[in-house]
Chain A
Amino acid sequence: MSFINYLSREINCKIVYYGPGLCGKTTNLQYIYNKTNPEAKGKMISLATETERTLFFDFLPLALGEIRGFKTRFHLYTVPGQVFYDASRKLILKGVDGVVFVVDSQIARMEANIESMENLQSNLVEQGYSLDKVPYVVQYNKRDMPAVASIEELRAELNPDGVPEFPAVATTGEGVFETLKAVAKLVLTELKRGGR
């Protein structure tokens, strides 16, 4: 649910990074935070455990520039990836405008990816959304790891509908901004269509 303020001429949108535990959602946000001009970003907040596992969410407010005199602001959130935090994930999906599904490319994590994707679908349905309606992109992260599945294999399992997809190495930033731009663009296009 985007928030349009005609007085301050601002469009605010919410993007959620989803995916299995340790797939690199927080790392995506950290990279964006480190590479963004100070005036375009707010503070990054991580509600994490002592071992840096996300407990509730990470949050990063970001200004992307102006469209027709409207400032566009994106609020980026991550969900906690660990299976048992499902109640928290549902809360964070409320009011979402766009979703990035971060895939852990390692062969050993294929099952975790599929489980998380199914979880995303059912949680969206519970909130009254559906994955084929919400602006949505897929990122194949950790392409630098030794035992990774091929993009074709990952696509067959996790992106059968062929939404925009990006190979990435979030630790070095490869593919991170490409992913963000793609989802932001889809969100704005959806807004333009007035499809909500």
Chain B
Amino acid sequence: MASPQMVMYEREFHQVQAVVDHLVRAANAQVVFIIDKNGQLIAAAGETGQLDTTSLASLTAGNIAATGGIAKLLRENEFSTQFHEGERSNIHIQLVGKRVILVVIFDNKTSLGLVRLRVKKASEQLDSIFEALAVKAETSHQSGAFAEITDDDIDKLFND
């Protein structure tokens, strides 16, 4: 298949969560979330209660994909950073290690400069976590949990 499967284990999830928890405080942001390039939400921190994070994840990934398409047409490798400015809130989108997307939503309690600074640091940490995760997923390949799924299990899912 074209791209390896994304697998998230408990240990790495806690590492990722620690980075986003720290970032939301250090950047004084409203919300921070991490999604994979296919639009799946991986982790979130901050005031996520009011937000439809699933939709946000999918649209952000679409946005990154479209921008990546434009970059290709311009023979650029990638536009790794995007910033959208609104009246009340702003959104900073950073591609991390070509695999995941780091999104920071913030208002006027902080500044773009501070957000960029903190994002830079967090990106480096996230890059190494996801790098290690990719290696781990590759080597452990499929876990037993899925090999044990029977055709009956799958059928049962659709029997209602």
Contact = CB atoms under 8 A, between A and B. Distances in A.
Interface of A: 1-7, 12, 14, 42-43, 45, 47, 56-57, 59, 61, 64-68, 70, 72, 75, 87-88, 90-92, 94-95, 127-129, 133, 181, 184-185, 188-189, 191-192, 194-196
B66 interface: yes
A70 B157 contact: no
B36 A3 contact: yes
A87 B42 CA distance: 27
* Interface residue SS majority, chain B: mixed
A68 B146 CA distance: 9
A59 B55 contact: yes
Contacts of A3: 5-8, 36, 38, 40, 42
A189 B149 CA distance: 9
A59 B62 CA distance: 10
A1 B8 contact: no
Contacts of B13: 5-7
Interface in B106-134: none
Nearest to A177: B158
A91 B3 contact: no
Contacts of B62: 47, 56-57, 59, 91-92
B8 A4 contact: yes
B55 A64 contact: no
Given A12-B40, A70-B145, A88-B66, A192 B154 contact: yes
Contacts of A128: 1-3
Contacts of A196: 1, 4-5
Contacts of B65: 91-92, 94
B112 to A, nearest CB: 27
Interface of B: 1-10, 13, 36-40, 42, 52, 54-55, 58-59, 62, 65-66, 68-69, 141-143, 145-149, 151, 153-155, 157-158, 160
Contacts of A92: 62, 65
B58 A189 contact: no
A92 B158 CA distance: 26
Contacts of A59: 39, 55, 58-59, 62
Contacts of A61: 54-55, 58
Nearest to A65: B157
Contacts of B146: 4, 191-192, 194
B154 A95 contact: no
B58 A45 contact: yes
B41 to A, nearest CB: 9
Given A14-B38, A43-B52, A75-B39, A1 B59 contact: no
B95 to A, nearest CB: 14
